[in-house]
Amino acid sequence: MSKPIIGITTTTTLRRKYPAIYGTNRPYAGAVLRAGGLPLLIPNDLTNRDLDLLLAHLDGVLFTGGYDIDPARYGHPPHPNIEKPDAERDRVEIYLVQGLVQSGQPFFGICRGCQVINVALGGNLYEHLPDQLPGNLHLENHDKPRDYLAHSVNILEDTRLAEIISPGETWVNSLHHQGVRRLAGGLIVTATSPDGLVEAFELPGHPFALAVQWHPEELQAQEAMRNLFDAFVQACQPIKTV
């Protein structure tokens, strides 16, 4: 059986004395590899035409975590707690999301990836949860291990996410200060946290269009989180032709 090629979005790291670096945390690629996919990092200086050509060779795209989306992308003013917006990354990822929806190719969003999918399809965000969400329980937790289980989420019945993990309560890590405020039209909520924040959503009718706010790539010791990547990579398997 051939292995599907999974594009993985990247963060651009600027360095004063050296060229910029495109990259992402190793667990993303590791989780894709373990599930049977071939990860391919996507740089942020591709033109839209380049991205169209790339999509023709990819079997799916994983939208990774990272710094904040520019609030101007969803019509909000700047917030003092916005972290390192990257206009080129925003452009690349928004273009990819819209192309994947149109083409029907599978995609999976994690943390920032969850947020950018929502923005690309017309939704908006809380720029800083501690200021804007009453009863907020989300902390960035960067002083703790990345597999620290910070809070529970409730996975809703009769959703793709429930089919993959199972409905009901699941404990997850939490490494973000932003989140979905208004969900884009066409998307449905598939999990929420006790403070009411959208923790996962999906696009009904699409072969695989799912996003989670937590970091399952850092929780691969859990069967449920491995199942997320297994389901994604399985959905990306190239269709055999006779």
Q: Is residue 72 part of a domain?
A: yes
Supply the pLDDT for residue 143: 79
Domain membership of residue 50 as a residue range = 5-235
- At residue 15, the 3 state secondary structure works out as coil
Q: Is residue 13 part of a domain?
A: yes
88 is catalytic: no
Among the listed residues 111, 114, 138, 202, the single catalytic one is 111
206 is catalytic: no
Check pLDDT > 50 for residue 242.
no
Supply the pLDDT for residue 214: 97
Supply the pLDDT for residue 89: 97
The whole-number average pLDDT for the span 212-232 is 97
Among the listed residues 177, 215, 218, 236, the single catalytic one is 215
Supply the pLDDT for residue 132: 78
Q: Is residue 117 part of a domain?
A: yes
Handedness of CA 64, 156, 34, 53 (dihedral sign): negative
Check pLDDT > 90 for residue 138.
no
CA atoms within 13 A on the CB side of 108: 26
| Cβ contact 38:232 at 8 Å | no
Q: Is residue 240 part of a domain?
A: no
The share of the chain scoring above pLDDT 70, in percent, equals 97
Supply the pLDDT for residue 18: 85
Q: Is residue 241 part of a domain?
A: no
Supply the pLDDT for residue 187: 98
Check pLDDT > 50 for residue 80.
yes
111 is catalytic: yes
The whole-number average pLDDT for the span 34-60 is 97
Q: Which residue has the higher pLDDT, 142 or 181?
A: 181
The DSSP H or E segment spanning 228 is helix 223-235
Q: DSSP code of 222?
A: S
Average pLDDT of the chain?
A: 93
The whole-number average pLDDT for the span 166-193 is 95
Check pLDDT > 90 for residue 162.
yes
d(CA 211, CA 202): 6
Q: Is residue 139 part of a domain?
A: yes
Among the listed residues 93, 199, 202, 217, the single catalytic one is 217
Residue 159's CATH number: 3.40.50.880
Domain count for the chain: 1
